[in-house]
Amino acid sequence: MKPNTTKAKLKSGGTVFGCFVRYPQASLIEVLGYQAWDFLLADAEHGTIQPADLENMVRAAELRGVTSMVRVTTNQPSIILRFMDTGVQGLHVPWVNSAAEAEAAVRSVKYYPRGIRGLAGVRASDYAQAIPMSEYVQQANAETLVVLQIETAAGIEALPEIVKISDIDVIFIGPTDLSQSLGFPGQPQHPTVQAGMQRIIDTVVGTDKALGIMVSSAAAAKEWRQRGARYIAIGLESLLGPAARDYLRAARE
């Protein structure tokens, strides 16, 4: 398994930047890989990406030395296993609402002795062709990046216990679902939602977990860096829309 450069950067105290892609196109990942992202994240929760698609998207990320990530559909061992077997270097688990759910997510990602992930000679293990499986297990447990999303009121309440769990690398705020859970759907700037986010910040910053966030612009990324975020992601649409509008506006003048 290749070294996880994004995980290494986070562990050394650095900040990493990535892009969410919900379209099952390996070529798109390959093109984005030329832009010096730390990680590229395939969104299987809010997109149509399946494990077969992800396998090729991971290959494309590897071409450019970019960390490959995936957001899975749900916190279930069988679902997580199929996506992890593609060779992806880490994953987001959405809707983590308790310490028990957080522990279950970690155990689904990690092999024995930390977890229960099924072991086979699949692409993740180089089809058992490169190194002994016993060595691969150790590498995978060390290199895989685990990101848990806190995006509900229940998740906020459980967070003090969640951050005590080992082998979680990032606590990621889901602003849109959090706004919905707190009663103000689609209004992440509402004071109640912002107060909820601040509780997450206060709980995570200063622990061994990095704070993660989804942003919509470079200005928002800078703001969140000041608030303590070190794992910062943006959606492809948030990049494409403004760039296209700026181009058309200038070209039509």
Taken in order 70, 73, 79, 80, is the CA torsion positive or negative?
Answer: positive
**Measured in whole angstroms, how far is the alpha carbon of residue 168 from the centre of its chain?**
12
Question: CA 177 → CA 9, 46, 180, distances in Å?
Answer: 28, 12, 5
Which distant-in-sequence residues (6+ apart) come within 8 Å of 33 by Cβ?
Answer: 40, 60, 61, 63, 64, 65, 66
Taken in order 100, 103, 105, 107, is the CA torsion positive or negative?
Answer: negative
User: CA 125 to CA 131: how far, in whole Å?
Assistant: 8
Q: Which of these is catalytic: 46, 164, 227, 245?
A: 46
User: CA 196 to CA 147: how far, in whole Å?
Assistant: 19
DSSP state of 111: P
Angle at 72 between CA 67 and CA 78, to 5 degrees: 115
Cα Rg of the chain (Å, integer): 18
Residue 46 annotated in active site: yes
Kindly list the catalytic residues.
46
